[in-house]
Amino acid sequence: MAASTIEITIKRQDGPDAPSRWEEFSIPYRPNMNVISALMEVRRQPVMKNGTRTTPPVWEANCLEEVCGACSMIINGKVRQACSALVDQLAQPIRLEPMTKFPLIRDLMVDRHRMFDALKRVRAWVPIDGTYNLGPGPRVDPNVQGVAYSLARCMTCGCCLEACPQVSDHSEFIGPAAIGQAVLKNLHPSGPLTKEERTAELMGVGGIVDCGNAQNCVIVCPKEVPLTRAIGDMGRQATKKFFRDLFRR
């Protein structure tokens, strides 16, 4: 007989310094639910399996189609997006935990600020002057476009940092996502304008040499961003810059 309920266990924490606890819920089964719709059901009726009323759980979500990266969490031990995690494909009880490599805000919601700071560090933008019409952009080789597109799929979701053994509270490692975006921006026709600063940033503390090449990042990336290829590519760009700087002295 088909199950009539969905069993969910959620790691709860009221704030960054509050103690954590596990809460169990049993919600009515509906076909084709994802973890976000299951969480919404819990929020609608926040009563635990033992009958005790609790506070509605907190999480972050936005696009609901695996594009924004906001709903990343650990689902049954694997970091992924809650909006694309289909209940019918998950073992129960479904165990939900927040990512651990980011400061916790509340329950399943974390602060991914360090990723956006990392993008600022590597100047992950295209410098353009918006004060006048620049005309059509330069032509880009379709092969370069292909590589650029694979890198541009990154949605800053944090899965790769969560999986990376080199990322922790104690390490300054910038993480694989920002390295991929630095490679992407270096590939852009305007890349050479800021390539030196971008590459220099990744040659310093917390940069490319902190990658231990464990390759966990590329395995968990939901967008199949070629992270290890990007890290290797940036390593070569950094080596070239090192020798250029050496001979310029």
Query: What are all long-range contacts of 192-199, with beta carbons under 8 Å and residues at least 24 apart?
Result: 193/127, 194/123, 194/127, 195/237, 196/241, 197/123, 198/122, 198/123, 198/124, 199/234, 199/237, 199/238, 199/241
Report the nearest approach of ligand SF4 to the CB of residue 4 (Å): 35
Question: Which residue blocks in the chain are alpha helix, DSSP H?
Answer: 35-44, 113-121, 142-152, 159-163, 176-187, 191-203, 216-220, 227-248
Q: Is 211 helix (H, G, I), strand (E, B) or coil?
A: coil
Residue 67 as a binder of ligand FES (CB under 6 A): the answer is: yes
Can you read off the two tokens belonging to residue 87?
């209940």
Instruction: Say which residues have a Cβ less than 8 Å from residue 140's Cβ, sequence separation at least 6.
Output: 148, 189
Residue 70 as a binder of ligand FES (CB under 6 A): the answer is: yes
- Candidates 45, 62, 145, 168; binder of ligand FES (CB under 6 A) is 62
66 close to 84: Cβ distance less than 8 angstroms: yes
Interface segment toward ligand FES; rule CB under 6 A; list 59-67, 138-146, 172-180, 230-238: 59-67
Nearer to ligand SF4, 190 or 215 (CB): 215
Can you read off the two tokens belonging to residue 248?
């310029």
Which partner, ligand FES, ligand SF4, none, binds residue 207 by CB below 5 to 8 Å per kind? none
Nearer to ligand FES, 81 or 166 (CB): 81
| Binding site residues, ligand SF4, CB under 6 A | 69, 154-160, 163-164, 166, 176-177, 180, 211-217, 221, 223, 225, 227-228, 231
Report the nearest approach of ligand FES to the CB of residue 234 (Å): 26
Interface segment toward ligand FES; rule CB under 6 A; list 58-66, 87-95, 146-154, 171-179: 58-66
- Candidates 71, 110, 119, 124; binder of ligand FES (CB under 6 A) is 71
Q: Is 93 helix (H, G, I), strand (E, B) or coil?
A: coil
Binding site for ligand FES (CB under 6 A): 61-64, 66-71, 81, 83
